[in-house]
Amino acid sequence: MSKISIPKILSGLFFTYLLLFSTISTAQQIIKVGVGNFPPFFIEKDTQGLFVEVIDEIFKNLPQYKVQYIPMSNNRILHEINYGKSIDIASNIFPSSKVKAHLSEPVFRFRDVAISKKLSQLTINDVADLQEKSIAAYQGATELLGEKFKQMAVENTEYSEHAHPKETTQLMLSGKKDIRVGDINVFWYDLSNKHFNNDASVARNNFTVHYLWPFTYSHMAFKDKSLKDAVNKVIKELKKNGSIEKIYASHEMQK
């Protein structure tokens, strides 16, 4: 009986491993996901952010696919998922967007709030209490926060909307506005910005959060219905076992 040397056995095993790995890699289908630059949810630099982690967690359970993130503006994401060919999935899509695609289960979470400085001692228990206060809100807030808010904004000469959330944060911190309206987690992220974080007054306990609106959720939008169905199955399981909530908790995100 001939003896087989250990080096030859190891060499054979290594070759088999490479062959298997190559087969698995080539079998993966590339899925292109359109994402916007919206910190802390999507951060274009190094392709990171809370929502990126959620998507990665979903596709860990679908190893036949390999995700490729494609940064683009929100308007272009909508155009590409409706008419283009550069993406297979659009992220952070609201039902009101009227996309011609298949929407997933609700998976991304936001919480719009009104925030004021604690020193101001403002009592804000209802949208009506915002009247006659100077307010900085994100662009499009009047279309998303209900009719009462829209009416208040129309009648309030001290109300303004801004394209970049950090502008609303700056206006409130500087005292030019009484109240900032927008997502609470974007506000906490803004406070961690080096532009602000050397100032002791930006500590979280120096602000009052007025919870005037419920959580809102957005979706992933798919060109392919079968892929949407597969992802929905995973989303339901990740919600059930707490995996998605753990991602939010790791970022100290508002529940």
| 177 and 128 share one domain | yes
Q: In terms of domains, do 83 and 132 share one?
A: no
Supply the pTM of this predicted model: 0.76
Q: How far apart are CA 49 and CA 250, in angstroms?
A: 11
**Domain housing 200:** 112-210
Residues 205 and 243 in one domain: no
Question: Residues 126, 86: one domain?
Answer: no
Report the number of distinct structural domains present in the chain: 2
Confidence at residue 23, expressed as pLDDT on a 0 to 100 scale: 45
Q: Are residues 103 and 163 both part of a single domain?
A: no
**Do residue 105 and residue 12 come from a single domain?**
yes
**Same-domain status, 123 and 103:** no
pLDDT for the residue numbered 22? 47
For 15-48, the pLDDT digits (tens) are: 555 555 544 445 789 999 999 888 889 988 888 9
Q: How do 89-93 and 216-222 pair as beta strands? A: antiparallel
Beta strands in 88-206 (DSSP E): 89-93, 102-103, 108-110, 112-117, 135-138, 159-162, 179-183
**So what's the pLDDT on residue 202?**
81
Q: Looking at the structure, do residues 156 and 182 belong to the same domain, yes or no? A: yes
Q: Are 241 and 148 members of one domain?
A: no
In this predicted structure, what is the pLDDT of residue 192?
Answer: 84
pLDDT at position 211 is: 96
Tokens at 232, concatenated: 């929905």
pLDDT computed for residue 56 by the predictor: 97
Q: Is residue 1 part of a domain?
A: no
In a domain, 52, yes or no: yes
**Residue with tokens 């993966």, as numbered in its chain:** 28
Cα separation of 180 and 140, whole Å? 14
**Residue 33: which CATH number?**
3.40.190.10
Q: Note whether residue 140 is domain-resident.
A: yes
| Backbone phi and psi for residue 74, each to the nearest 5 degrees, phi listed first | -60, -40
- Model pLDDT, residue 148: 97
Residues 119 and 200 in one domain: yes
Distances (CA, A) of 66 to 61, 78, 88, 117: 11, 22, 12, 45
**What are the phi and psi torsion angles at 50 (to 5°)?**
-60, -45
Does residue 142 share a domain with residue 200?
yes
Would residue 134 count as lying in a domain?
A: yes
Residue 29 lies in a domain: yes
Any domain includes 92:
yes
Neighbour-count burial for 87-100, b at 16+ CB within 10 Å, e otherwise? bbbbbbbbeebebe
Any bridge partners for residue 89, and if so which? 33, 222
Structural domain contains residue 255: no
Are 159 and 116 found together in one domain? yes
Q: In the chain, what are the helix, strand and coil shares in percent, each to the nearest 5?
A: 45, 25, 35
pLDDT at 147: 96
The list of the chain residues with pLDDT below 50 reads: 1, 22-25, 255
> Among residues 194, 210, 226, which one ends one of the domains?
210
